């Protein structure tokens, strides 16, 4: 089980991360590009769930490198990772923090950062410099 405090700790371990707000929600950026953000469900999202209860919050959204990476992440079956119709065709996943475990969450946050960071910064991070 994870919480936004865990997310804050995980993103703060990555280089050049800033925290701000986008669309009224807390968002984490690398060099001005969003890679993770709080993602409460909109009224339209809730309507699409119909009689099925939506995943209980808090919900985190994470960028993926592309739709192939998104599908691969979802195919792992990691607890808490899912998507909704609003995200069809969009390279990002949602994470129900209450059911996510910390290792897959940390890996997905790092991958979101890598997908959003400039190439030189990502290479330096991966090289440990």
Its pTM stands at 0.94
SS3 letters across 46-64? HHHHCCCCCCCCCEEEEEC
26, 28, 76 from 79: Cα distances, Å: 23, 22, 9
Q: By the 8 A CB rule, do 110 and 15 touch?
A: no
What pLDDT band is residue 1 in, cutting at 50, 70 and 90? Answer: confident
Q: What is the pLDDT of residues 83-121, one digit of tens each?
A: 999 999 999 999 999 999 999 999 999 999 999 999 999
């Amino acid at each position: 089980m994870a919480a936004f405090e865990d997310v804050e700790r995980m993103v703060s371990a990555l280089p050049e991360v800033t925290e701000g707000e986008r669309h009224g929600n807390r968002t984490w950026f690398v060099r001005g590009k969003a890679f993770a953000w709080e993602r409460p469900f909109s009224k339209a999202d809730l309507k699409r769930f119909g009689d099925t209860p939506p995943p209980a919050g808090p919900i985190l959204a994470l960028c993926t490198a592309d739709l192939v990476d998104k599908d691969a992440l979802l195919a792992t079956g990691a607890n808490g990772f899912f998507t909704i119709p609003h995200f069809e065709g969009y390279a990002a996943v949602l994470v129900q923090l209450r059911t996510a475990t910390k290792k897959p969450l940390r890996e997905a946050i790092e991958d979101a950062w890598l997908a959003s960071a400039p190439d030189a910064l990502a290479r330096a991070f991966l090289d440990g410099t």
